Amino acid sequence: MSILKLENISYHYDRSKVMVLDKLNMDFDEGKIYTIVGKSGAGKTTLLSVLSSLAAPTDGKIFLNDRDITKIDRYKFRSKYVGVIFQSFNLLTHLTALENVILSMDISGKKFNRPKKEIALELLRKVGLDEEEAKRRVLKLSGGQQQRVAIARALSYDPDIILADEPTGNLDGETQDEIIGIFRMLADEGKCVIIVTHSPDVAKASDITYELKKPDKAS
Told to check if 85 binds ligand ATP by CB under 6 A, we report no
Exactly one of 35, 45, 49, 146 binds Mg ion (CB under 5 A); that residue is 45
Q: What is the nearest approach in angstroms of another protein to the Cβ of residue 53?
A: 9
Give which of Mg ion, another protein, ligand ATP, none residue 42 binds (C-beta under 5 to 8 Å, depending on kind): ligand ATP
- Nearest-angstrom CA–CA distance, 110 and 186: 19
* 183 phi-psi bin (left φ>0, alpha ψ -120 to 50, beta other): alpha
Exactly one of 13, 25, 131, 172 binds ligand ATP (CB under 6 A); that residue is 13
- Nearest-angstrom CA–CA distance, 70 and 90: 25
Binding to another protein in span 101-140, by CB under 8 A: 103-104, 106-108
Give which of ligand ATP, Mg ion, another protein, none residue 142 binds (C-beta under 5 to 8 Å, depending on kind): none
Using CB atoms, what's the residue nearest to Mg ion?
Answer: 45
Q: What is the nearest approach in angstroms of another protein to the Cβ of residue 113?
A: 18
Three-state DSSP at 164 gives strand
